[in-house]
A and B are shown apart, each in its own frame.
Chain A
């Protein structure tokens, strides 16, 4: 049976795994229990800085520490990273200080807290910042591996993690995971589905259902939205001739936009974008939200057929 786990747990584990590097510090804004930085805090209280419920301050404390030679990992809910956007822009991205920001509980998949907690624009806004790497991994293994690659990055980053458990895809496949490189999970020549985060497993389900209809899909885990893996997009666009993107994020500005931006400048292929249809969410279970937002496997499969029909 497929192991289920939350990406935020992979983040928490990675912080512990990184602790051997004495320059790694953790910054919290009263949500360490939720973002999973609490494990680091318990083990290394001297290297954990509580910033209270103050995200703007937290990010710039991180900037000051990065400028002083430390490697800060700051986390809060994805939605609350947004109130510190200008700090990220002016105090971190502009001077290119390697602060690593993690926004957990991203997307509508976060569920019953409702729309106030369901960030659907974080990937879009951070993607607009020069120097910032943007990621949204799909399982705890890839989250851990990508997080552990961050200290070597030398530039700031934003990573969205999710609250709820999703199928684990990468047990024993850690070596395949690299920042900036999408991963082909299943191969087919009719259509390519490019997904991130919680919609990667939905895309695999969609590919299964399409297979039953004789349609063979390539599914890509595009865990890094910026820099986008343009080489891989070219490869799958050439092979399949039609693409679908899938993300638990506003259809404006996220993965779909990143893929579209690459396609229009490089290669022609029809693209269907599955994402939150420019509306706010509501309270509901994670699986219910995927249906309400029309981003579940069913809708991804429909989009795939539409993309193929446009070839």
Chain B
């Protein structure tokens, strides 16, 4: 089923509503990075991922690895939208016994392919999945989303070097370049200089897009899938805004890992068009 740009924007809007509801309900969690990634996840899941929501462990599925596993509300919201889990399940976020663990966990939640939460791990895991797919002779792909602050973990570069060495054309990375990490802006915490040049120097195919412009997002996903970019690993550097869609969260390091209060929640629902002002 073909999705129009406006269809995808609506999916992302609905996911944003769920993200804010989840962190507000739990009074904990990570809204900023969930909101920055969600346009990318909406387009990826709704138009590219070869998955079966009613058969989440289907062997020839594409894999999605959320390496920035704390941005789990974003992933849970799209999994609900796709039908892997129910919208009722979203209420279990950070609740004892709930399938929506604080950080995405493959043992708890259908549709989650990697137990993340510790930064710098997902790309290596994705490399393992991509290597296994190649050995199997399968055309399944491993999509990995990493964060920009996460690139400060040295293990990311171990994986980047190894994936290029092994020419893993079925490994596709999306970088959520939202410019903010836990304590402050990335530029303050640890400058990363020329990020596209770094990945190119490691042997990757690289493209930059605006991660909130759905037309550009679709072009970026086309780039990841293009046959000429399947000679080795590819990365889509998506420039995003932390907290995108909620005015007081945007570009605000305070909302990396903090929940809105009741008043802020109400305002967010107004901004997302869920309630009238």
B99-129, CB < 8 A from A: 105-107, 113-115, 117-118, 120-121, 124-129
Chain B residues positioned under 8 Å from A54 (CB to CB): 155, 158-159, 161-162
Task: Please report the C-alpha to C-alpha distance between residue A46 and residue B118 in the assembled complex, in whole angstroms.
Answer: 31
Given known contacts A25-B135, A67-B114, is B158 in contact with A56 (CB within 8 Å)? yes
B132 interfacial contact with A, CB 8 Å: yes
Which chain A positions have C-beta within 8 A of B113?
67
Secondary structure of the A contact surface, majority rule: helix
Report the separation of the CA atoms of residues A311 and B133 in the bound assembly, to the nearest whole angstrom.
60
The reply on B136 being an interface residue by CB < 8 A is: yes
Chain A residues with CB under 8 A of B166: 49
Q: CB-defined interface of A47-58 with B at 8 Å, one 1/0 digit per residue?
A: 101111010111
B200 within 8 A of A: no
Stretch from A89-97, A164-172, A175-183 that touches the partner: A89-97
- CB pair A57 B106 closer than 8 Å: no
Asked whether B155 lies within 8 Å of A61 as measured between CB atoms, the reply is no
A230 to B129, CA, bound (A): 38
Q: How far is the CB of B276 from chain A (nearest CB, A)?
A: 45
Given the interface contacts A67-B114, A70-B135, does A95 sit within 8 Å of B107 by beta carbon?
yes
A70 / chain B contacts, CB cutoff of 8 Å:
132, 135
Chain A stretch 20-68: residues in CB contact (< 8 A) with chain B: 25, 46-47, 49-52, 54, 56-68
A174 → B minimal CB distance (Å): 31
Most chain B Cβ neighbours within 10 Å, of A25, A47, A65, A94: A65
Chain A residues with Cβ below 8 Å from B131 are: 49, 61, 64-65
Task: Give the interface size bracket for B toward A.
Answer: 20 to 34
State the CA gap A66–B113 with chains docked (Å): 12
B153 → A minimal CB distance (Å) = 9
Residues on B with C-beta less than 8 A from A49 are: 131, 166
- Kindly state the separation between the CA atoms of A154 and B111 in the bound complex, as whole angstroms: 22
Report B58 CB to chain A, min CB distance, Å.
13
Q: Which chain B residues lie closer than 8 Å to A57 at the CB level?
A: 124, 127, 155, 158-159, 162
Tell me whether A277 is interfacial, beta carbon within 8 Å: no
Known: A56-B158, A57-B159, A91-B115. A68 touches B121 (CB 8 A): no
In the bound complex, do residue A95 and residue B106 qualify as a contact, i.e. CB atoms below 8 Å apart? yes
Q: Which A residues touch B198, using CB under 8 A? A: none
CB B73 to nearest CB in A, in angstroms, measures: 20
The answer to whether B136 and A90 have CB atoms under 8 Å apart is no
A54 to B142, alpha carbons, bound, how many Å?
A: 21
Q: Are B162 and A52 in contact (CB under 8 A)?
A: yes
Residues of B near A47 (CB, < 8 A) are 135
Which of chain B's residues have a CB closer than 8 A to the CB of A224? none
Q: Is A87 in contact with chain B by the CB < 8 A criterion?
A: yes
Judge if A69 is at the interface, Cβ distance under 8 Å.
Answer: yes
Is A52 a contact of B158 with CB atoms below 8 Å? Answer: yes
A86 interface residue per 8 A CB criterion = yes
Q: Assuming the A-B contacts A52-B165, A91-B115, are A67 and B106 also in contact, with contact meaning beta carbons closer than 8 angstroms in the complex?
A: yes
Write out the residue numbers on chain A whose beta carbons fall within 8 Å of the beta carbon of B155.
Answer: 54, 56-57, 60, 87
Q: 4 tightest A-B contacts by CB?
A: A64-B128, A68-B132, A60-B124, A54-B158
Q: Hey, which bits of chain B sit against chain A, CB under 8 A? A: 59, 105-107, 113-115, 117-118, 120-121, 124-133, 135-136, 142, 154-155, 158-159, 161-162, 165-166
Query: 17 A–B contact pairs at CB < 8 A?
Result: A58-B124, A60-B121, A60-B124, A60-B125, A60-B128, A61-B162, A63-B124, A64-B131, A64-B132, A64-B142, A67-B113, A68-B133, A70-B135, A87-B124, A87-B155, A91-B118, A95-B114
Extra contacts besides A58-B124, A67-B114, A70-B135 (20): CB < 8 Å? A46-B135, A49-B166, A52-B158, A52-B165, A56-B154, A56-B155, A57-B162, A59-B124, A60-B127, A60-B128, A61-B128, A61-B162, A64-B127, A65-B128, A67-B106, A67-B129, A68-B128, A68-B132, A90-B118, A95-B114
